[in-house]
Structure 1
Protein backbone atom coordinates (compact mmCIF):
# COMPACT_ATOMS: atom_id res chain seq x y z
CA UNK A 1 0.00 0.00 0.00
CA UNK A 2 1.46 3.34 -1.02
CA UNK A 3 -0.81 5.63 1.02
CA UNK A 4 1.26 7.63 3.52
CA UNK A 5 0.50 6.80 7.16
CA UNK A 6 0.60 10.24 8.74
CA UNK A 7 0.48 10.30 12.53
CA UNK A 8 -1.66 13.07 14.03
CA UNK A 9 -1.93 14.00 17.69
CA UNK A 10 -5.03 15.21 19.51
CA UNK A 11 -4.82 17.19 22.72
CA UNK A 12 -6.40 20.22 24.41
CA UNK A 13 -5.13 22.50 21.63
CA UNK A 14 -5.85 20.12 18.75
CA UNK A 15 -9.17 18.46 19.56
CA UNK A 16 -10.39 15.28 17.97
CA UNK A 17 -13.61 14.34 19.73
CA UNK A 18 -14.53 11.77 17.10
CA UNK A 19 -11.19 9.97 17.51
CA UNK A 20 -11.23 10.05 21.32
CA UNK A 21 -14.89 8.98 21.53
CA UNK A 22 -14.49 6.17 18.96
CA UNK A 23 -11.50 4.86 20.91
CA UNK A 24 -13.47 5.13 24.16
CA UNK A 25 -16.28 3.10 22.61
CA UNK A 26 -13.86 0.40 21.44
CA UNK A 27 -12.20 0.21 24.86
CA UNK A 28 -15.53 0.06 26.71
CA UNK A 29 -16.72 -2.73 24.40
CA UNK A 30 -13.42 -4.57 24.85
CA UNK A 31 -13.72 -4.28 28.63
CA UNK A 32 -16.95 -6.28 28.41
CA UNK A 33 -15.20 -8.98 26.38
CA UNK A 34 -12.34 -9.33 28.90
CA UNK A 35 -14.44 -8.90 32.05
CA UNK A 36 -14.54 -12.63 32.88
CA UNK A 37 -11.17 -13.77 31.55
CA UNK A 38 -8.87 -10.88 32.60
CA UNK A 39 -10.45 -8.55 35.17
CA UNK A 40 -7.41 -6.26 35.66
CA UNK A 41 -7.12 -5.70 31.91
CA UNK A 42 -10.87 -5.13 31.58
CA UNK A 43 -10.75 -2.60 34.41
CA UNK A 44 -7.80 -0.80 32.79
CA UNK A 45 -9.64 -0.64 29.46
CA UNK A 46 -12.76 0.73 31.11
CA UNK A 47 -10.86 3.36 33.09
CA UNK A 48 -9.11 4.57 29.93
CA UNK A 49 -12.43 4.59 28.07
CA UNK A 50 -13.92 6.84 30.76
CA UNK A 51 -10.96 9.22 30.54
CA UNK A 52 -11.12 9.38 26.76
CA UNK A 53 -14.86 10.04 26.82
CA UNK A 54 -14.35 12.84 29.32
CA UNK A 55 -11.57 14.29 27.16
CA UNK A 56 -13.80 14.14 24.06
CA UNK A 57 -16.62 15.93 25.92
CA UNK A 58 -14.40 18.55 27.54
CA UNK A 59 -12.37 19.44 24.46
CA UNK A 60 -15.03 19.25 21.76
CA UNK A 61 -13.82 19.72 18.26
CA UNK A 62 -13.11 17.85 15.08
CA UNK A 63 -9.70 16.88 13.84
CA UNK A 64 -10.73 17.60 10.22
CA UNK A 65 -8.51 20.65 10.06
CA UNK A 66 -5.57 18.30 10.42
CA UNK A 67 -7.05 15.51 8.32
CA UNK A 68 -5.41 14.92 4.94
CA UNK A 69 -7.46 11.81 4.05
CA UNK A 70 -10.74 10.08 5.05
CA UNK A 71 -12.13 12.98 7.04
CA UNK A 72 -15.36 12.71 9.03
CA UNK A 73 -18.40 14.28 7.38
CA UNK A 74 -20.87 13.62 10.21
CA UNK A 75 -18.98 15.48 12.95
CA UNK A 76 -18.33 14.07 16.39
CA UNK A 77 -21.72 13.96 18.14
CA UNK A 78 -22.47 10.47 16.82
CA UNK A 79 -19.18 9.11 18.18
CA UNK A 80 -19.87 10.72 21.56
CA UNK A 81 -23.29 9.04 21.70
CA UNK A 82 -21.75 5.74 20.55
CA UNK A 83 -19.13 5.96 23.32
CA UNK A 84 -21.74 6.87 25.93
CA UNK A 85 -23.87 3.89 24.86
CA UNK A 86 -20.94 1.47 25.21
CA UNK A 87 -19.91 3.04 28.52
CA UNK A 88 -23.44 2.65 29.82
CA UNK A 89 -23.49 -0.99 28.71
CA UNK A 90 -20.14 -1.58 30.44
CA UNK A 91 -20.86 0.33 33.67
CA UNK A 92 -24.66 0.74 34.01
CA UNK A 93 -23.94 4.25 35.35
CA UNK A 94 -26.85 6.61 34.80
CA UNK A 95 -24.57 9.53 33.94
CA UNK A 96 -24.05 8.00 30.49
CA UNK A 97 -27.79 7.63 29.89
CA UNK A 98 -28.27 11.22 31.03
CA UNK A 99 -25.67 12.36 28.51
CA UNK A 100 -27.42 10.38 25.76
CA UNK A 101 -30.82 11.86 26.63
CA UNK A 102 -29.43 15.40 26.63
CA UNK A 103 -27.45 15.07 23.40
CA UNK A 104 -29.64 12.70 21.35
CA UNK A 105 -30.95 13.68 17.95
CA UNK A 106 -34.57 13.17 16.96
CA UNK A 107 -33.90 12.09 13.38
CA UNK A 108 -34.15 8.44 12.41
CA UNK A 109 -30.75 7.41 11.08
CA UNK A 110 -30.60 3.92 9.61
CA UNK A 111 -27.09 3.91 8.16
CA UNK A 112 -24.12 2.65 10.18
CA UNK A 113 -20.60 3.26 8.91
CA UNK A 114 -17.08 4.21 9.94
CA UNK A 115 -18.30 7.81 9.96
CA UNK A 116 -21.87 7.51 11.22
CA UNK A 117 -22.60 5.78 14.54
CA UNK A 118 -26.17 6.87 15.40
CA UNK A 119 -27.78 3.60 14.26
CA UNK A 120 -25.28 1.57 16.28
CA UNK A 121 -25.98 3.62 19.40
CA UNK A 122 -29.72 3.16 18.83
CA UNK A 123 -29.30 -0.63 18.63
CA UNK A 124 -27.22 -0.71 21.82
CA UNK A 125 -29.77 1.46 23.60
CA UNK A 126 -32.65 -0.72 22.47
CA UNK A 127 -31.43 -3.19 25.11
CA UNK A 128 -31.91 -0.64 27.92
CA UNK A 129 -34.83 -1.46 30.17
Structure 2
Protein backbone atom coordinates (compact mmCIF):
# COMPACT_ATOMS: atom_id res chain seq x y z
CA UNK A 1 0.00 0.00 0.00
CA UNK A 2 1.20 3.49 -0.85
CA UNK A 3 -0.37 6.36 1.11
CA UNK A 4 -0.77 9.58 -0.87
CA UNK A 5 -0.52 13.16 0.27
CA UNK A 6 -3.44 14.92 -1.34
CA UNK A 7 -5.61 17.99 -0.89
CA UNK A 8 -8.66 15.68 -0.87
CA UNK A 9 -7.80 14.55 2.66
CA UNK A 10 -10.01 16.35 5.19
CA UNK A 11 -12.34 17.77 2.57
CA UNK A 12 -16.11 17.65 3.08
CA UNK A 13 -18.81 17.14 0.49
CA UNK A 14 -22.19 15.50 -0.06
CA UNK A 15 -22.00 11.75 -0.64
CA UNK A 16 -24.55 11.50 -3.47
CA UNK A 17 -23.19 14.45 -5.40
CA UNK A 18 -19.64 13.12 -5.09
CA UNK A 19 -20.68 9.59 -6.05
CA UNK A 20 -22.40 10.88 -9.20
CA UNK A 21 -19.36 12.90 -10.31
CA UNK A 22 -16.84 10.19 -9.44
CA UNK A 23 -18.82 7.56 -11.41
CA UNK A 24 -18.56 9.78 -14.50
CA UNK A 25 -14.78 9.33 -14.22
CA UNK A 26 -14.87 5.56 -13.63
CA UNK A 27 -14.43 5.85 -9.87
CA UNK A 28 -16.98 3.70 -8.08
CA UNK A 29 -18.40 3.58 -4.59
CA UNK A 30 -17.23 0.34 -3.01
CA UNK A 31 -20.13 -1.90 -2.01
CA UNK A 32 -18.17 -3.01 1.08
CA UNK A 33 -19.17 -0.24 3.50
CA UNK A 34 -20.62 0.62 6.87
CA UNK A 35 -23.20 3.38 7.40
CA UNK A 36 -20.54 5.63 8.94
CA UNK A 37 -17.67 4.99 6.50
CA UNK A 38 -16.92 3.90 2.96
CA UNK A 39 -14.56 4.33 0.04
CA UNK A 40 -14.37 5.16 -3.62
CA UNK A 41 -12.19 2.95 -5.84
CA UNK A 42 -10.87 3.29 -9.34
CA UNK A 43 -8.59 1.04 -11.34
CA UNK A 44 -5.27 2.58 -12.31
CA UNK A 45 -3.98 -0.57 -14.06
CA UNK A 46 -5.02 -4.17 -14.66
CA UNK A 47 -3.20 -7.10 -16.23
CA UNK A 48 -4.65 -10.60 -15.92
CA UNK A 49 -4.88 -11.31 -12.18
CA UNK A 50 -3.16 -8.14 -10.97
CA UNK A 51 -4.98 -4.86 -10.40
CA UNK A 52 -3.71 -1.58 -8.99
CA UNK A 53 -6.42 0.56 -7.40
CA UNK A 54 -6.68 4.09 -6.14
CA UNK A 55 -8.75 3.96 -2.97
CA UNK A 56 -10.24 7.08 -1.34
CA UNK A 57 -11.73 6.26 2.07
CA UNK A 58 -14.11 8.59 3.88
CA UNK A 59 -16.10 8.97 7.09
CA UNK A 60 -19.72 10.05 7.28
CA UNK A 61 -19.97 13.12 9.55
CA UNK A 62 -23.68 13.86 9.12
CA UNK A 63 -26.45 11.48 8.04
CA UNK A 64 -26.18 7.90 6.89
CA UNK A 65 -24.36 6.57 3.88
CA UNK A 66 -27.49 5.51 2.02
CA UNK A 67 -28.66 9.15 1.98
CA UNK A 68 -27.81 11.38 -0.98
CA UNK A 69 -27.21 14.38 1.31
CA UNK A 70 -25.02 12.58 3.85
CA UNK A 71 -21.93 14.71 4.52
CA UNK A 72 -18.62 12.89 4.16
CA UNK A 73 -15.03 13.79 4.99
CA UNK A 74 -12.21 12.20 3.01
CA UNK A 75 -9.36 10.40 4.77
CA UNK A 76 -5.87 9.63 3.42
CA UNK A 77 -6.12 8.12 -0.08
CA UNK A 78 -3.84 5.26 -1.08
CA UNK A 79 -2.80 2.99 -3.92
CA UNK A 80 -3.15 -0.76 -3.40
CA UNK A 81 -2.46 -3.84 -5.51
CA UNK A 82 -4.65 -6.95 -5.49
CA UNK A 83 -3.43 -10.22 -6.95
CA UNK A 84 -6.16 -12.78 -7.64
CA UNK A 85 -6.13 -16.41 -8.69
CA UNK A 86 -7.53 -16.50 -12.22
CA UNK A 87 -7.56 -20.32 -12.37
CA UNK A 88 -10.05 -22.76 -10.93
CA UNK A 89 -10.44 -22.84 -7.16
CA UNK A 90 -8.86 -26.15 -6.10
CA UNK A 91 -9.64 -25.57 -2.43
CA UNK A 92 -12.98 -26.01 -0.78
CA UNK A 93 -15.96 -27.00 -2.90
CA UNK A 94 -14.75 -27.09 -6.50
CA UNK A 95 -18.11 -28.44 -7.65
CA UNK A 96 -19.78 -25.25 -6.34
CA UNK A 97 -17.24 -23.16 -8.24
CA UNK A 98 -17.82 -25.02 -11.51
CA UNK A 99 -21.59 -24.80 -11.01
CA UNK A 100 -21.29 -21.02 -10.54
CA UNK A 101 -22.23 -21.07 -6.88
CA UNK A 102 -18.75 -20.10 -5.62
CA UNK A 103 -17.79 -17.57 -8.26
CA UNK A 104 -15.59 -15.33 -6.10
CA UNK A 105 -12.24 -16.43 -4.73
CA UNK A 106 -10.19 -14.76 -2.07
CA UNK A 107 -7.33 -12.68 -3.53
CA UNK A 108 -3.96 -14.41 -3.36
CA UNK A 109 -2.57 -11.13 -2.04
CA UNK A 110 -4.81 -8.22 -0.95
CA UNK A 111 -1.82 -5.89 -0.60
CA UNK A 112 0.66 -7.04 -3.22
CA UNK A 113 4.09 -5.49 -3.72
CA UNK A 114 3.93 -2.48 -6.01
CA UNK A 115 6.86 -1.96 -8.38
CA UNK A 116 7.75 1.55 -9.64
CA UNK A 117 6.02 3.29 -6.73
CA UNK A 118 6.66 6.79 -8.08
CA UNK A 119 4.65 5.92 -11.21
CA UNK A 120 1.61 4.92 -9.14
CA UNK A 121 1.94 7.86 -6.76
CA UNK A 122 1.87 10.17 -9.77
CA UNK A 123 -1.06 8.29 -11.36
CA UNK A 124 -3.04 8.39 -8.11
CA UNK A 125 -2.38 12.08 -7.48
CA UNK A 126 -3.26 12.96 -11.08
CA UNK A 127 -6.57 11.08 -10.79
CA UNK A 128 -7.43 12.79 -7.50
CA UNK A 129 -6.57 16.20 -8.96
CA UNK A 130 -8.91 15.52 -11.91
CA UNK A 131 -11.71 14.49 -9.54
CA UNK A 132 -11.17 17.53 -7.30
CA UNK A 133 -11.16 19.86 -10.28
CA UNK A 134 -14.48 18.43 -11.45
CA UNK A 135 -16.12 19.20 -8.12
CA UNK A 136 -14.12 22.18 -6.82
CA UNK A 137 -17.23 24.22 -6.14
CA UNK A 138 -18.76 21.64 -3.79
CA UNK A 139 -15.74 20.91 -1.59
CA UNK A 140 -14.86 22.95 1.46
CA UNK A 141 -12.19 22.55 4.08
TM-score by length of 1: 0.25
| Structure showing the higher strand proportion among its residues | 2
